[in-house]
């Protein structure tokens, strides 16, 4: 394999299949239906996709009786679920239209910095790193691992949690 093949990106965000997929991810009713059928915890917690591109994912979750713990803050599992969705969507975009590739979370590390109340917005802007990792998995046909971070902020913009997910990608 020559170096020009190794350095050439195989991901193209302008491909119709990827453009349509990203458009669907940004459709509230399509995501509501997806959550209802495939991710019922996100449906139950009221998780919403604010905006997603191939580079960045933004997801919101509001503290409610369904997400609240006994200490009057947001339950850690609800925060982790919303945070995971930010980079899970980016990973799904990265493998869309590629060779069949599996994706799996192999580790989670979380830091809860401030009490999470109200509307929390989780953001992950490491889509390009995820794409590069998926491309390496496809090129080498070996499993690749990456750790990405989702940051949760309250309505005042204060960081309430930082959750790191280690993803493994492997061509099937």
For residue 117, being part of any structural domain is answered with yes
For residue 3, being part of any structural domain is answered with no
Where residue 65 sits, what CATH number does that domain have? 3.10.129.10
For residue 158, being part of any structural domain is answered with yes
Whole-model pTM: value is 0.91
For residue 6, being part of any structural domain is answered with no
Q: Cβ(84)–Cβ(109) under 8 Å?
A: no
For residue 85, being part of any structural domain is answered with yes
Per-residue pLDDT of 94-140, as tens digits, reads: 999 888 999 999 999 999 999 999 999 999 999 999 999 999 999 99
Question: Count of domains in the chain?
Answer: 1
Domain that holds residue 103: 11-171
Would you call 70 exposed, middle or buried from its count of C-beta atoms within 10 A (0-12, 13-18, 19+)? exposed
pLDDT, residue 8, reads 59
Among residues 65, 34, 66, 69, the alpha carbon closest in space to that of 49 is found at 34
For residue 1, being part of any structural domain is answered with no
pLDDT tens, the chain, 172 aa long: 444 444 456 888 889 999 999 999 999 999 999 999 999 999 999 999 999 999 999 999 999 999 999 999 999 999 999 999 999 999 999 999 888 999 999 999 999 999 999 999 999 999 999 999 999 999 999 999 999 999 999 999 999 999 999 999 999 8
> Tokens 């949690």 correspond to what residue?
161
Would you call 145 exposed, middle or buried from its count of C-beta atoms within 10 A (0-12, 13-18, 19+)? middle
């Amino acid at each position: 394999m020559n170096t020009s093949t190794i350095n050439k990106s195989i991901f193209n965000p302008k491909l119709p299949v990827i453009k349509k997929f990203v458009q669907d991810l940004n459709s509230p009713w399509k995501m509501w239906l997806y959550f209802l059928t495939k991710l019922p915890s996100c449906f139950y917690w009221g998780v919403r996709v604010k905006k997603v591109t191939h580079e960045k994912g933004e997801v919101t979750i509001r503290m409610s009786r369904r997400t609240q713990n006994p200490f009057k803050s947001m339950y850690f599992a609800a925060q982790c679920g919303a945070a995971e969705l930010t980079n899970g969507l980016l990973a799904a975009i990265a493998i869309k239209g590629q060779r069949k590739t599996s994706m799996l979370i192999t580790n989670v590390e979380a830091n809860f910095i401030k009490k999470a109340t109200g509307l929390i917005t989780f953001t992950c802007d490491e889509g390009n790193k995820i794409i590069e990792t998926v491309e390496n998995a496809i090129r080498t046909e070996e499993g690749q691992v990456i750790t990405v971070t989702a940051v949760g902020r309250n309505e005042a913009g204060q960081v309430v949690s930082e959750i790191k997910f280690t993803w493994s990608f492997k061509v099937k």
